Amino acid sequence: MDSLVLTYKPTQYHREHLDRFQAIMHSLKNKTLHDLVVDFKGSGYSFENVGTFGHLRSLNVNARMCAYDLVQLCRSNPNLYNLTFYSTELNGRFSDIVSYCSQLKRLELLMKPDVDATEYATLANLPQLEELYLGGIHEEGTLTELFNGLKLKGLKKLHIRNSMLSKQETQALAQIRSIISIESAFSDDPIIGNLAHLRNLKSIKVFARREQYNLLIQFKNLIKKVEVSFNTKCMGLGIKLSPISGNLFLTLSTLYNVCDNDEAPREILNFLKPHSSNIFKNVCDNDEVSSDILNFITPLSQRIEVNQLHIAGFSGFLQALLQSLANQKLRNVHMLDIISMEEAYSLVSIPSLNNIYCVQNLEEIIAMKCKQLDGIKNTETRVYLFRNPDWTARINHGNFLTTIVEPAAAFDFFCFFWPIDNY
């Protein structure tokens, strides 16, 4: 047996179940178990008497536990390289494990509620630590000592999902030269610019409050070399700019409000995109919010070479952005909103664009593109692809011919505007 998952979530407490659990633990005494997951969350049971393992490489615990038992578990498994402890019910100090985790590379920890996080400062002494994921809300400023301790170490990833870093904590974070990936919220807007000096930084994800979308301006020194993501749950704003892949993602929708799980919105989005033509809408009655956000985004988009644009929720405010992309090498656009005729004209006027996915008013966009191409001759044939969830159309633009090639099912709209030539 290489791995084991123990999950127990009864509707009520049964003391006799402890004996059965201990019997399971005893049966594993001579097994070379490498991966163990224990999930007793909300059950009222503790994970204890755990000294039967000696070959674990990965341990995931979400259960009430005594720090002494956790230390003994780490001591008896010297090759442990991945540890997740996602329970706030720990009796004792989590940092007591440090002396016995010389091979630990990845640590995911749920901090105790409103904890003075200086008690985790000694985690910086883990000699092989490369990835640190912290959940829970800590007392403001108390992670500074931990970050200072990591300054000259080899930490590569730091993800803090629920807490907001103070100015002092962010300044200390900016001194960790080895770091390549950061995810967190920040209380001080200007200090984010300091992270631009991290030479190895490749990606940053900011969890922001509603009024913090002006944080985008702080990314101007990061955007050329670092993948930047910006998310606010309350207004459903999601922005991602990738200088390496040339992707620009913009989302402003009510979908982000439906779930507290940060990963769920993406799953919902991927499910709903092909099934609805009226999913997205601007969240705020005040249109100035959408306009202001794009006023920040438009100049930032000029700092990278955008070749793919994915956008939802900014209908009516895209004109300046689309015009600014006309001189870029934009090839692919994915749109989930209806757009105005002015925006459609700016879209089809982008010379490099030849692949458009649009959930709504795709017919008008195609007609506008055909009208634009009519009478123009190319010595080489160029293909333009248009898609929505139900059908695909292709325009072949050559020396004498503008052609629309239909999918299997006929689409009479095209016949009304443009003759369908044999393909």
- What share of the chain in percent tops pLDDT 90? 36
End-to-end C-alpha distance for the chain, whole angstroms: 59
pLDDT class of 46 with cuts at 50, 70, 90:
confident
pLDDT at 138 over 90: yes
What count of other Cβ atoms lies within 10 Å of the Cβ of residue 140?
17
pLDDT above 60: residue 268: no
Residue 396 has pLDDT above 90, yes or no: no
Pair 231, 207: CB distance under 8 Å = yes
Q: What is the pLDDT of residue 405?
A: 60
Mean of the pLDDT values across residues 2-20? 77
* pLDDT classification of 269: cutoffs 50, 70, 90: very low
Q: Comparing 30-34, 210-214, 379-383, which segment has the lowest mean pLDDT?
A: 210-214
SS3 369: helix
**pLDDT confidence of residue 394:** 83
Identify the top-confidence range among 129-143, 269-283, 322-336: 129-143
User: What one-character-per-residue DSSP string does 1-62 give?
Assistant: --EEEEE---SS--TTHHHHHHHHHHHTTT----EEEEE-TTSS-B----TT----SEEEEE
Neighbours of 406 (CB within 10 A): 16
Eight-class DSSP state of 193: G
Compute how many other C-beta atoms are within 10 angstroms of the C-beta atom of residue 361. 18
Q: How many CB atoms lie within 10 A of CB 147?
A: 24
pLDDT, average across residues 401-423? 41
Residues 6+ apart with CB under 8 A from 11: none
Q: What percent of the chain is modeled with pLDDT above 70?
A: 79
371/243 Cα distance (integer angstroms):
34
The confidence score (pLDDT) of residue 287 equals 59
pLDDT band at 236 (very low <50, low <70, confident <90, very high): low
**Is the pLDDT reported for residue 381 higher than 70?**
yes
pLDDT of residue 291: 75
**Once rounded to an integer, what is the mean pLDDT over residues 20-35?**
78
pLDDT of 276: 36
Kindly report which listed range (173-177, 231-235, 307-311) carries the lowest average pLDDT score: 231-235
> What is the pTM assigned to this prediction?
0.78
Residue 102 pLDDT level (bands cut at 50, 70, 90): very high
To the nearest whole number, what is the mean pLDDT of the chain?
80
Q: Where does the pLDDT of residue 225 fall: very low under 50, low under 70, confident under 90, or very high at 90 and above?
A: confident
Contact in structure between 180 and 156 (CB atoms under 8 Å) = yes
Q: Per-residue pLDDT for 98 more than 90?
A: yes
| Residue 56, pLDDT above cutoff 60 | yes
> 176-217: per-residue pLDDT in tens?
999 999 999 998 777 887 888 898 999 999 888 766 766 777
